[in-house]
Amino acid sequence: MISGRSKGDQIKPTVKIVVVEPVSKIILNCIGWGLEEENIPFEVKETMNDSAVLLAKKEADNSKLNIGICINGVSKKIILHHRDLVVDNPLFTIMVQDYKEENLKILGINAARLVKGKPLVFKQAV
């Protein structure tokens, strides 16, 4: 398991990210940068292929921060889900054609802002 926190830190609630390989490290890094920019810790684990929506929802349901993200390299989707949403209605879906560093970082920022109850962003300030 990869974590966005140092080894000396106390265990804190985290945003859960589940990965279905193959996934480029830059994808995970960009999402992580967005979370870290907002000072929200995250954990990453790998799993076997399943529906990206179901995996993200499961992680949201199991996270004390209510947020789950699935990066599915097989279906080429990234899903951000919230515990309070119904399974078939994730908050954000990014398809492979939209895998741009800016979009991925904004997804991480928005995951963090959901945790904080802050307004979401849809484009980086220039």
What are the backbone angles phi and psi of residue 33, rounded to the nearest 5°?
A: -60, -40
| Whole-number pLDDT of residue 47 | 95
Burial 91-115 (b: 16+ CB within 10 A, else e): bbebeeeebeeebbbbbbbbbbbbb
Amino acid letter, residue 46 = E
pLDDT of residue 96: 87
What pLDDT score was predicted for residue 62? Answer: 92
Quote the pTM value. 0.88
Angle at 21 between CA 109 and CA 2, to 5 degrees: 55
Domains of the chain by start residue, with CATH: 2-116 (3.40.50.10150)
Which among 24, 39, 49, 40 has a CA at the least distance from the CA of 101? 24
The pair phi, psi for residue 86, each rounded to 5°, is -70, 150
Are 65 and 45 in contact by the 8 Å Cβ rule? The answer is no
Averages of pLDDT over each 10 residues, the chain, 126 residues: 51 91 94 97 94 97 96 96 97 92 96 97 70
Instruction: Give pLDDT, residue 97.
Output: 87
